[in-house]
């Protein structure tokens, strides 16, 4: 994809945040959703990518599930400049009626299909139809992301490529503006107070869920995934760094020494760890799915594999280094990609 096209795409994204009409937080969620799907299902060939409306609805339920719960137990945050956002209300009513604590348990309930249908209809009616209107409320349609079909949207040529290339940036911008949108809403002032944990509440997995993941991983192995030594105090580490792909998936978690986790930090793991991780996921796929279900974290082995391929391919293109052990790195080159051959 030509650099000129990529720069033009980034310019349009910047214009979207600057000129778009954001009466609710839906457009931020839609950007995150299509960026995630581009990573999970797209390719780097520049071709269009069809995304079913239903899949967008599923993504919205995942993104808003936690946000439909009371903030600090006091009340649900308002995400519309007027009354509550419809998606929040739909999910909150479903949670209350069915006593479903996680998306994983919700999907097994009969009423989930109706919830998905309602959320999908809202997503198509509002953010899908309006996100490409630039220039404020009286702006005009500038079709630079997708065109809308009866049952799907289709990302335009080159868009999936750019979303894959700039996914961390798009995520960061969308989340930052999403947080600001909630903070600026006067209806949330009493709930928020001086609290600085809003970002954690909106987007991060709870400590309770991570504890369940840690307990489950210990049953598979009580050793640090990276150095192989036994662990007393252990961290739950994102094998593909959370900073690179900020979405929690059960098959992406490994147990690690706090020192190994801190040293690896936001870097991709070296080839020796990549090969072992692929074997780990394949050998323990069912157990990892069960851990995810118990913790309320989505378990999607196929998506994790696509994310890993994407992450390492980008690292090869960017000439990045892979973490071997503390203070030791190696170049990530084409040989890494052969791990999937």
- Give residue 65's pLDDT: 96
Read off the pLDDT band of 287 (50, 70, 90). very high
pLDDT digits (tens, 9 = 90+) for 29-57: 999 999 999 999 988 999 999 999 999 99
pLDDT digits (tens, 9 = 90+) for 186-217: 999 988 987 668 999 999 988 899 999 999 99
- Give residue 337's pLDDT: 96
Residue 277: beta bridge partners?
none
**Which residue intervals of the chain are DSSP H helices?**
3-19, 26-41, 53-64, 86-98, 103-106, 112-123, 129-130, 159-165, 167-184, 189-192, 198-203, 207-220, 258-264, 271-283, 285-295, 301-318
pLDDT at 139 over 80: no
Which residues fall within 8 angstroms of residue 47, CB to CB, at 6 or more apart? 157, 160
Strands 328-331 and 321-325: antiparallel
pLDDT at 304 over 90: yes
**Quick one: tokens of 276?**
């072992």
Angle at 108 between CA 104 and CA 109, to 5 degrees: 120
pLDDT digits (tens, 9 = 90+) for 145-160: 999 999 999 999 999 9
- Give residue 39's pLDDT: 96
**pLDDT > 90: what percent of the chain?**
85
- Give residue 195's pLDDT: 62
**Quick one: tokens of 6?**
């990529």
- 134 backbone φψ class: left, alpha, beta (φ>0; ψ -120 to 50): beta
**Quick one: tokens of 216?**
């489950």
pLDDT digits (tens, 9 = 90+) for 234-277: 999 999 999 999 889 999 999 999 999 999 999 999 999 999 99
**pLDDT > 70: what percent of the chain?**
98
Are the CB atoms for 212 and 295 separated by under 8 Å? yes
Are the CB atoms for 309 and 318 separated by under 8 Å? no
């Amino acid at each position: 994809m030509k650099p000129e096209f990529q720069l033009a795409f980034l310019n349009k994204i910047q214009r979207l945040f600057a000129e778009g009409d954001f009466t609710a937080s839906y457009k931020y969620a839609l950007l995150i959703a299509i960026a995630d799907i581009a990573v999970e299902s797209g390719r780097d060939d520049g071709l269009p990518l069809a995304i079913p409306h239903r899949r967008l609805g599923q993504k919205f339920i995942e993104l808003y599930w936690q946000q439909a719960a009371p903030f600090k137990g006091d009340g649900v945050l308002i995400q519309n400049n007027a009354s509550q956002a419809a998606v929040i209300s739909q999910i909150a009513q479903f949670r209350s009626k069915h006593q479903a604590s996680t998306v994983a348990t919700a999907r097994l309930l009969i009423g989930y299909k109706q919830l998905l249908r309602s959320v999908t209809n809202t997503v198509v009616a509002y953010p899908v139809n309006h996100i490409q209107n630039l220039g404020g409320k009286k702006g005009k349609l500038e079709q630079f992301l997708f065109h809308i079909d009866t049952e799907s949207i289709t990302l335009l040529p080159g868009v999936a490529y750019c979303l894959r290339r700039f996914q961390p940036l798009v995520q960061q911008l969308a989340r930052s503006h999403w947080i600001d949108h909630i903070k600026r809403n006067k209806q949330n002032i009493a709930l928020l107070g001086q609290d600085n944990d809003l970002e954690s509440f909106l987007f991060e997995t709870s400590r309770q869920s991570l504890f369940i993941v840690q307990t489950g991983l210990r049953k598979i192995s009580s050793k640090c995934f990276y150095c192989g030594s036994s662990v007393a105090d252990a961290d739950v580490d994102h094998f593909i760094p959370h900073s690179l792909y900020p979405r929690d998936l059960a098959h992406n978690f490994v147990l690690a020494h706090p020192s190994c986790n801190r040293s690896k930090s936001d870097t991709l793991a070296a080839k020796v760890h990549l090969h072992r991780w692929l074997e780990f996921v394949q050998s323990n796929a069912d157990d990892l799915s069960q851990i995810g279900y118990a913790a309320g974290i989505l378990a999607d082995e196929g998506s994790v594999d696509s994310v890993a391929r994407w992450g390492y391919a980008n690292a090869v293109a960017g000439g990045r280094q892979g973490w071997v052990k503390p203070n030791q790195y190696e170049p990530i080159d084409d040989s890494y990609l052969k791990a999937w051959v």
